[in-house]
Structure 1
Amino acid sequence: LQQHVAFWDPDRDGVIWPGDTFRGFRRLGFNLFVSSLAVPVIHGTFAYWSSPSWIPDPMMRIHVSRQRLQGRTKHGSDSETYDTEGRFVPQKFEEIFSKYDTDNKGGLTLSDVNEMVRGNRNIMDPVGWIAEWLEWNTSFYLAAKDTPQGRMLLKDDARALIDGTMF
């Protein structure tokens, strides 16, 4: 998880400011609207839970020290590719593709991605449903490639997004 979030902390100060998130989305090629919308969604979700204090941070900063992120920022209804300690779980990643890449295409179509998101839903967890949908659909938009079978999020690209090596 640390490697994944390092992209968003360009000055390596252990804090992701809202401006860091906005600029990160712009560097990834997202338009002004999506980049602007991402800031309150991401920081509104993670700033408090990553804070070193019980008092909410009015600057909505995300503190990325390992102790701050462990367990506190993991939402429900997720793919479980990270455990509560922030470690990548390769078996869970492989399960995604063995279960949802039904035709062994080597990747997931947008339909496959959304089927997986529906399959990961926990009961009474609308925040987790939305977070999972946003994460995987953003990942698809960012990394999907045109293939003979159609537009797909290839397995290697999905892993690079999840483990942070794509950034």
Structure 2
Amino acid sequence: MARGLVAPDMDHPNGTPGHNHNNLSVLQQHCAFFDQDDNGIVYPWETYAGLRQMGFNIIASLVLAIFINVGVSYPTLPASFFSSPPKYRDDIYREHNKSDFSGIASEFENVFSKHARTYPDKLTLRELWNMTEANRDAFDLFGWLASKMEWGTLYVLARDQDGFLSKEAIRRSYDGSLFEYCAKMQRGAEDKMK
């Protein structure tokens, strides 16, 4: 399980330097940022709060929080619990989008070897679009839309000034350290405004 606790790539075989995984899988770490009260359940208002902390506006945060929690919550619910929309961090592994890749290191590296045409370690918006099209499952309309939304949101959040999404930003989105970094930068910008 030790390798499942880090988001490695060729340049970071031990994952994000200085990032504490708290014995959570990479997918659980991805969700943990949004679990504001650390109770293992991510409610829509916690997702909304996390998106706002990262710098998304009110409308985008509201729409994304609803879409994410409604779309992801059902597979993570305990068998006897039929209401939505909380998602359970510890059971997030149940939610798998067939139209997206699983995030394992070999597949992660393949994304760049297959789709990064401009730079070997960065993706343009067009390259992201082509990647989601290539990974599309023909009978998974929701997964296809979710994949477009996830990657589009990541692009808006982490693209550089030249419009590229770096390999490092994508890798750090898996273990949630990107979200923590963006929230810290947002707090810093707000502090400078005061």
Tell me the TM-score normalized by structure 1. 0.86
Q: Moved runs in structure 1, 4+ residues, more than 3 A? A: none
SS of 2:107's partner is helix
The answer for the alignment partner of 2:101 in structure 1 is 79
Structure 2 residue aligned with 1:102: 117
C-alpha separation in 1, matches of 2:40 and 2:61: 21
For residues 1-12 of structure 1, the aligned pairs below 5 Å read 1-12=27-38
Aligned to 1:21: 47
Letter in 2 for 1:32: I
Q: Which residue in the other structure is 1:155 paired with?
A: 167
Measure, in 2, the Cα distance between the counterparts of 1:73 and 1:35: 21
Name which structure has the greater RCO, CA cutoff 8 Å, separation 6+: 2
Which residue of structure 1 lines up, in the alignment, with residue 76 of structure 2?
A: 50
**Length-normalised TM-score, structure 2:** 0.75
Deviations 1:79-98 (A, max 9, x none): 221xxxxxxx1111100011
Q: Work out which of the residue numbers 110, 127, 130 in structure 2 matches 1:112.
A: 127
The secondary structure found in structure 2 opposite 1:114 is helix
SS in 2 for 1:112: helix
Aligned to 2:15: none
Task: Provide the C-alpha distance between the structure 1 equivalents of 2:176 and 2:65, rounded to a whole number of angstroms.
Answer: 19
Hey, what's the Cα distance between the residues in 2 that align with 1:42 and 1:56?
17
Q: What does residue range 56-71 of structure 1 map to in structure 2 within 5 Å?
A: 56-58=82-84, 60-65=85-90, 68-70=91-93
Aligned residues with identical type, % of pairs: 31
Check the 8 A contact 1:47/1:57 in 2, yes or no.
no
Structure 2: 5+ residue stretches without partners: 1-26, 181-194
Question: Which residue in 2 is equivalent to 1:142?
Answer: 157
Write out per-residue CA displacement over residues 107-140 of structure 1, whole angstroms, 9 at most, x where no aligned residue.
0011111110111101111111101000101000
| Distance (whole Å) between structure 1 residues aligned to residue 80 and residue 99 of structure 2 | 25
Aligned residues: 153
